[in-house]
Structure 1
Amino acid sequence: MTKQVLILGATGKIAGHAIATLLAKTTDQLLLFTRHPQNLSIADESRETVIKGDTLKTDELNAAVAQADVVYANLRNPAIAQQARNIVAAMDQAGIKQLVWISSIGIYDEVPGKFGDWNNEMLGGGQEDSYLGTYRKAADEISASDLDYTIIRPAWLTDKDEVDYETTKRGEKFKGTEVSRKSIGNLVAEVIANPAKYALQDLGVNKPNSDGDKPAWY
């Protein structure tokens, strides 16, 4: 079944991989929502529609969400908790259930050992207004909603041309230190294609056998 997939933050690198995978493997129509449409490269004008908008402007967001069957949010902003609230409200108003949400490693203090200590030091673990603190607030908004959400918490991201990942569930210790953006983009497309399988899932994602005190490339 062809879906209308709204991609919020469509100029992001992970979003680019998700878009490529969706174009290659589905017949879905893609609504590319961004504040910076000049930064988008369109591969298929018959299936990609660019929408200039800001998730912090509820009228623009609501109008875009009303056109969608699925929402995929690939956002990075100090106001991400407010963005989450706006998205939940817009989806409730439109009667749309499936949300794919990109979050961050470490928001639940789930990363063990020296790597966990390093990750907290780098991202501000335990600090309410830090990167991790704001992403935790946003994830809490999503998980408290009545949406069929899937939260994805990637390890430290690489631009390697590979699809190689494993997942852990919320409450389990995180594995590994890194994962490719291409892997996350492919997982996003998989989640969109199989909503029932991934509904109400909160997943850590890493490349297998990438354990260490910090990412090997850092």
Structure 2
Amino acid sequence: MTRIAIVGGHGQVARHLIHDLRRSDHDPVALVRKEEYRDELESKGAEVRILDIEQQGAEDFARAFEGCEAVVFAAGGGPDGNIERKRTVDLEGSLKSIEGARQAGIRRFVQISAIGVDDPLPEDTSDVWRAYVEAKRDADAALRASDLDWTIIRPGRLTDDPATGLVSLGADLGGGDVPRADVAAVVAGVLDAPRTIGKQWVLVSGTTSVGEAIATAS
């Protein structure tokens, strides 16, 4: 059994991930900025540690990761129009997580990104969406350039539909939707799959079981 740190541990994907990690004999450690989340997350089986992604530094991240064997970056600045939080959460939160993992001696790192963030943006793209895409793009580039054992999962449009257990996973897929529950299942699965190290994959709903998709994606 290994302990997995989840940055952004109260997010919608993260809450599904806690359940999946418990089922796969891992101990999830939910890193959250509000004490009020503790009871809910502990009831799901997570250890809860307080970490303010925006206000604390890499050294604090390293301390929050103590005793963990892997880090999942599942944080996001939210769907609102706050451009600044796209930088401070989606980008700087990832950068501090990467450095914190290195300081803590943790090699395994899985990042939840977004589909299409390397594609050129249309001229009429809103400032908020541009800030979000650029933050995710730069965070992925920083992780790829690190010496960590990384995997980047880039889901399509997220939905709250029930899990299907059927996905498409690969480096070059078209767009599509995917339930948050299926994203969590894939993240939980790649953590234990050495072949996924150094892979950046798009994830959308499909016809292949999660386990088979992880075993065969290229």
Aligned to 2:166: 164
Cα deviation code 1:69-96 (max 9, x no counterpart): 0001101132222222211211111221
Q: Equivalent residue for 2:108? A: 98
8 Å CA contact retained: 1:176, 1:207:
no
1:60 Cα deviation from its structure 2 partner = 2.6
Alignment of 1:195-206 (within 5 A): 196-206=194-204
TM-score (norm 1): 0.79
- Distance in 2, Cα, partners of 1:121 & 1:179: 23
- 1:114-133 to 2 correspondences below 5 Å: 121=125, 127=130, 130-133=131-134
Partner residue, 1:180:
179
Partner Cα distance (2:177, 2:126) in 1: 14
Q: Which amino acid aligns with 1:62?
A: A
Task: Supply the distance in 1 between the matched residues of 2:138 and 2:151 (Cα, whole angstroms).
Answer: 16
SS of residue matched to 1:62? helix
Q: How many residues were matched structurally?
A: 192
Give the fraction of aligned pairs with identical amino acids, expressed as a percent.
Answer: 23
Q: Secondary structure at the match of 1:165?
A: strand
Counterpart secondary structure, 2:166:
coil
Aligned-partner residue type, residue 132 of structure 1: V
What amino acid maps onto 2:187 in structure 1?
A: V
Residue equivalent to 1:139: 140
Note if contact 1:154-1:179 (Cα within 8 Å) is conserved in structure 2: yes
Distance 1:160 1:147 in 2: 33
Which amino acid counterpart does residue 92 of structure 2 have in structure 1? Q
Residues in 2 aligned to 1:3 and 1:54: alpha-carbon distance in whole angstroms: 24
Distance 1:134 1:199 in 2: 22
Structure 2, unaligned stretches of length 5 or more?
Answer: 78-85, 208-218
CA RMSD of aligned residues (A): 2.4
Give the aligned partner of residue 156 of structure 2: 155
Q: For 1:86 and 1:53, locate their aligned partners in 2 and report how far apart those are by CA, in whole Å.
A: 12
Deviation at 1:202, TM superposition (A): 0.5
Structure with greater helix share of residues: 2
- Name the TM-score, length of structure 2 as normaliser: 0.79
CA distance in 2, matches of 1:67, 1:185: 22
Structure 1 unaligned regions, length at least 5: 111-115, 210-218
Change (3 A) 1:208 1:29: closer
Partner of 2:17: 18
